[in-house]
Amino acid sequence: MSDTATHDHDSDHHGDHGPPKGWRRWVFSTNHKDIGTMYLVFALVMLFVGGAMSFVIRAELFQPGLQFVNPDFFNQMTTLHALIMVFGMIMPAFAGFANWMIPMMIGAPDMALPRMNNWSFWILPFAGVMLLSTLFMEGGAPASGWTLYPPLVLQTGNGFPFAMFSVHLLGISSIMAAINIIVTILNLRAPGMTLMKMPMFVWTWLITAYLLIAVMPVLAGGVTMLITDQFFGTTFFQAAGGGDPVLFQHIFWFFGHPEVYIIILPAFGIVSHIIPAFSRKPLFGHDAMVYAVAGIAFLSFIVWAHHMFTVGMPLAGQLFFMMSTTLIAIPTAVKVFNWTATMWKGSLSFETPMLFALGFLFMFTIGGFSGLMLAIAPADFQYHDSYFVVAHFHYVLVPGALFAAIAGAYYWMPKWTGHMYDEKLGKVHFWLSTIFVNLTFFPQHFVGLAGMPRRIPDYSTQFADFNMISSIGAFGFGLSQLLLVFIIIKCVRGGEKATAEVWDDPPGLEWTVPSPAPHHTFDEPPVIR
Amino acid sequence: MSGSRTDMPTRDDELRKSIRRTAIVLGLLALAWYFGFMALRLI
């Protein structure tokens, strides 16, 4: 798109003054770039907080028997690990990308609602601390798994209302961010940028934002009903009072399955930028990609009960949810095909962002295939609640969503900081991450198929070898991410000066502004021809 | 926009109105869905 847009930087009225100094710059910021940075830093911190919990989990599972923690604390760790990684790490990471990149990609000067943007972010640290504080309360943190199923979650001690309020706050933050993104995209696109001319990352976030507004209130409603069941005498989910605990499962997964796509669609968007840039070709089938994303988003609303095949539902229900779930393979295959076709006969190069994007492509597809296996209702009766499920969703979320986020960070880091990152270290980071992530999660397929249940601190000795390998992989993967922190700090502090284009004629308006991007960009909208 | 209280990128009143309208509609939709969804269960 850079060849179709003109933007005179000398006419930037705001390029000549910098941001406020000191802590006020961050606490009171209404600037989309600063808020984006805060989201990204918060996500990075939470990656290590959630990662520390996975270290506890994998240390306990290193050998059969109880080594380090009691079973209740183990379950608190699995619960908090998931809640923090989903709500505190990967969603804020993509919100950070949205804040930084969407205004620059559509030629807008900022997000449409900058004060609400500040509020959306600053709710997060308080919600995160509140959630973590439950660990220090009587009864500890919730130990029900991130699904918060009653009646188990209602057995949480004093931490229960705090955890529930924290989930509410995280939801409010997400909804406000989603509203901001939709309003920005619908109102602040540069003249000439029609919807179908929008870059894929913007498209994926537009659809993701609609998904957020559609499902976050459902989670909030479910959690509110948990609170009223616990404290106000209602019996929404208690059979003794005429309620139904399975209702909560439906509510949770009506939120939970679109949530999976809320996480993965922005990842699709990022990869859809990186693969064309390093193939030196336009994205193959841009419009088909848009329709595929919209199709995935639609289907995400009618597949939720595949998470609960074993709960006891009519055969017709199983058939419906099995078939609707397998349908998702079609638009997903369109995307995988288009990424591959983009590379076909391209002039490929393999810098770190491309390596992570390709890692995403291969390993997300492995997670997709195991998802298809799980979608088959009769087979799911075998796999349900086993480590096979753990392997499946970790493949989708770690070498899937997280790799895409890391790929995006390397891709745009020169634009953010004005410096090139250390390419050699970036490649080392990729290979360490790829080796260890497979070492961690691939053996979990085998122990799962052999019958090892999830969310247990002890297991039969027959699973010992694969669990040991998995734990070694997890420690290696976690420690490898320290290299990412080092690379980021090194890049922020200095390094080879980045040009405006950074890469070899990459598509997109963001590459028409200098590196680092000035504090204010596009005060006058660029012209899209 | 230099000197404005925030970086709010309003190019003109029409745009400001459109931004506000879109935000209010989306916010009300989210709130209505939250309360309406729970009300469904109470029926």
Q: Which of A115, A213, A225 sits opposite B30 (nearest CB)?
A: A213
Q: What is the pLDDT of residues A290-321, one digit of tens each?
A: 999 999 999 999 999 999 999 999 999 999 99
Domain range for residue A58? 1-152+171-189+499-529
Residue A7, pLDDT > 70, answer no
Q: Do B22 and A221 touch (CB under 8 A)?
A: no
Q: From the CA of A183, how many Å to the nearest CA of chain B?
A: 6
In a domain, B20, yes or no: yes
What is the Cα–Cα distance from A149 to A143, expressed in whole angstroms?
10
Q: Say what the pLDDT of residue A113 is.
A: 96
Reported ipTM: the value is 0.86
Q: How confident is the model at residue B43 (pLDDT cuts 50, 70, 90)?
A: low
Q: Do A183 and B26 touch (CB under 8 A)?
A: yes
In a domain, B6, yes or no: no
Q: What is the pLDDT of residues A463-476, one digit of tens each?
A: 999 999 999 999 99
* Helices and strands, number each (H, E), in chain B: 1, 0
In a domain, B5, yes or no: no
Tell me the average pLDDT across A145-161: 95
Residue B13, pLDDT > 90, answer no
Residues from chain A that touch B31, judged by Cβ atoms under 8 A, are 217
Q: Say what the pLDDT of residue A379 is.
A: 96
What is the Cα–Cα distance from A12 to A518, expressed in whole angstroms?
9
Q: Which residue, among A6, A156, A189, A15, has the nearest Cα to A72 in the 3D structure?
A: A156
Number of domains in chain B: 1
In a domain, B3, yes or no: no
Give the CATH number of the domain where residue A183 resides.
Answer: 1.20.210.10
**Is B25 at the interface with chain A, CB within 8 A?**
no
Number of domains in chain A: 1
In a domain, A258, yes or no: no
Q: Say what the pLDDT of residue A4 is.
A: 45
Q: Which of A213, A236, A525 sits opposite B26 (nearest CB)?
A: A213
Residue A9, pLDDT > 80, answer no
Q: Say what the pLDDT of residue A2 is.
A: 41
CA distances (Å), origin B11, targets A29, A75, A109, A513: 20, 52, 10, 20
What is the Cα–Cα distance from A203 to A188, expressed in whole angstroms?
14
In a domain, B39, yes or no: yes
For chain A, which residues lie within 8 Å of any Cβ of chain B, measuring from their own Cβ?
A: 13-14, 17, 30-31, 108-110, 112-116, 175, 178-180, 182-183, 186-188, 213-214, 216-218, 220-221, 224-225, 236, 247, 520, 523, 525
Q: Do B41 and A225 touch (CB under 8 A)?
A: yes
In a domain, B1, yes or no: no
Q: How confident is the model at residue A17 (pLDDT cuts 50, 70, 90)?
A: low
Cβ proximity of A93 and A102 under 8 Å: no
Domain range for residue B18? 11-43
In a domain, A354, yes or no: no
